[in-house]
Amino acid sequence: MKAARALWVVMAAAPAVVSAQTQAASDFNPLSATQGGVHLYGVSAYSGYYSSGGTGGSEMAVQNQFVAGPSAMAGVAATIGGSKTGDKSTFAWSYSPSYFNSFYGNSQFSNNGSLNHRMSVHWTRKLGSKWTVSGSLNGYLANLQQLYFNPGVLSSVASTPTSFDDLAAGMLAGQSTNPQLASLLNSAPLQASPQQGYLYGDRMFNAAASLGLSWASSGRTSLSVIATGDRMQSANSVGTIGGTSTSSGASVLPEMTTAGVAISWSYSLSPRTYVSASASSYRTFSRLQHGYASNGTFSIGRTMSRRWFLQATGGAGKLDYSQQVYAAPSAVQHFYGGSLGFKTIAHTFVVSYNRTLGDSYGLGSGTTSAAMGAWNWRPPGSRWSMSASWGYQELNNPTFPNTRSWLVGGGVARALAPHLFMSAQFMYFQLPANVKTAVGELSENGVNVGLTWSPSGYR
């Protein structure tokens, strides 16, 4: 089992070029998770290949420098962090710096390289027997190419060593007793995938924070209030063309800031069935859009057997903007979604689809459709691990048609020695049909091979 856990770190840290995630810190701690201090979790070196040297420009308010021809890339990354668990509180943090450089087939273009960062903090504390306060802060500064191999939330969930009961409770009710899984599912979410972030150009910054208070009168009922904030903006890298400094992936999509409050109630009808309802209102701040998005949702989830569970969600909401460059629908919007999970001793499979209100860019969408899926195979005691994932996003937008983008990828990892692990991943990214690039390409594929050294290794 320890070998399998170490292999999971390879999949989350070495090929996830941006950085390792918080879940790596909590699962693979060289020392006891209850000990304080700063710990080194691993150091990675990686290299790879991309079919083209940059991202595409888009009619959807994006103008990028696209470089034709294949490109090689190489980089290094490290992850430090710490965690502490007490009788009434838990705290975990991680920070991952990485250096990334691309070497383009077109000799006229060279990238000077970039230093990238990712951090995550998650904290909870019990206030008496019924009240709990929690907070989280997540953020990254990275190139779009580095997000190609970054594990999404579902990929990280599928890779987390946990029981079926914890996985089902976490996905259906957000009440997992596994700190690593709870941190993944309850932290403020980031737009950390290419299909979400490419609109901001070749390099981007994203930060999200949350602060919540929950009350549980019994083991069956809970009520919570949570405040969230999010910031997304372009942070374009600089390179040279013909010896002249230029911006790579210049985006004219302005920064977007959102802040909101949500109130939710959940109730356990039985040990296997959960229902919940929530109401929320968020305000957006952008040069493209100012105003509110308010909605209400209801969901029901059930553990169907000892192997799988499912959940369905539905709701309605309304957009009320005082300023907008791209007109959004003023009528009530309906949305829906669902998730499904399946787990055995060696396999974990999770998939979700959600149609949500508005969009995260200020482009006037009534709703946004997004789907994610992840599979992980990790036999107990084996030195091998395999994974696959896919993601999809489409803006339901009257002004910009053909906004569908998607990504599919997979990987394999193996422990080479007690402290050394090797991994390999591939990806294929498809841009929307309305994207206009300088070289006429709408897709990109790539591979990534990495080596990770860790202080503790496996036993």
Closest CA to 73 of 444, 385, 454, 453: 444
Q: What is the DSSP string of 198-217?
A: GGG-SEEEEEEEEEEEEE-S
Q: Which of 19-28, 122-131, 201-210, 266-275 has the lowest mean pLDDT?
A: 19-28
Q: Which of 25-29, 114-118, 169-173, 441-445 has the lowest mean pLDDT?
A: 25-29
Query: What pLDDT band is residue 28 in, cutting at 50, 70 and 90?
Result: very low
Q: What is the pLDDT of residue 252?
A: 59
Q: What is the pLDDT of residue 277?
A: 96
The most confident of the ranges 81-90, 105-114, 247-256, 320-329 is 320-329
Here the tokens at position 384 are: 């091998």
Query: What pLDDT band is residue 229 in, cutting at 50, 70 and 90?
Result: very high
Q: Where are the beta strands (DSSP E) in 242-380?
A: 244-248, 256-270, 273-285, 289-303, 308-324, 333-343, 347-357, 367-377
Between 196 and 434, where is the model more confident?
Answer: 196
State how far the Cα of 184 lies from the Cα of 26, in Å rounded to an integer.
11
Q: Which long-range contacts (CB under 8 A, 24 or more apart) does 414-418 make?
A: 414/7, 414/383, 414/384, 414/385, 415/3, 415/6, 415/7, 415/10, 415/383, 415/457, 415/458, 417/457, 418/457, 418/458, 418/459
Is the predicted pLDDT of residue 82 greater than 60, yes or no? yes
3-state secondary structure of 330: coil
The tens digit of pLDDT for each residue in 301-327 reads: 999 988 999 999 999 999 999 999 988
Domains within the chain, CATH numbers bracketed: 2-453 (2.40.160)
Is the predicted pLDDT of residue 24 greater than 50, yes or no? no
Query: What pLDDT band is residue 444 in, cutting at 50, 70 and 90?
Result: confident
CB 268 within 8 A of CB 302: no
Is the predicted pLDDT of residue 23 greater than 50, yes or no? no
Mean pLDDT of 144-152: 82
Between 11 and 93, where is the model more confident?
Answer: 93
Q: Which of 132-141, 321-330, 416-425, 448-457 has the lowest mean pLDDT?
A: 448-457
Percent of the chain residues past pLDDT 70, beyond the cut: 80
Question: Which residues make beta-bridge pairs with 136?
Answer: 122, 210
Between 408 and 443, where is the model more confident?
Answer: 408
Question: Which residues make beta-bridge pairs with 277?
Answer: 265, 298
Beta-strand relationship, 420-430 and 405-417:
antiparallel
The tens digit of pLDDT for each residue in 51-76 reads: 865 444 444 444 444 455 678 888 99
Query: What pLDDT band is residue 243 in, cutting at 50, 70 and 90?
Result: very low
Q: What is the pLDDT of residue 441?
A: 62
Q: What is the pLDDT of residue 50?
A: 83
Q: What is the pLDDT of residue 45?
A: 94
Q: What is the pLDDT of residue 290?
A: 93
Query: What pLDDT band is residue 134 in, cutting at 50, 70 and 90?
Result: very high
- CA 241, 247, 253, 258 torsion-angle sign: positive
Is the predicted pLDDT of residue 260 greater than 80, yes or no? yes
Q: What is the pLDDT of residue 64?
A: 46
* Mean pLDDT rounded to a whole number for the chain: 81
State how far the Cα of 132 lies from the Cα of 125, in Å rounded to an integer.
6
Between 29 and 445, where is the model more confident?
Answer: 445
Is the predicted pLDDT of residue 227 greater than 90, yes or no? yes
The tens digit of pLDDT for each residue in 365-398 reads: 999 999 999 999 989 888 899 999 999 999 998 8
CB 419 within 8 A of CB 7: no
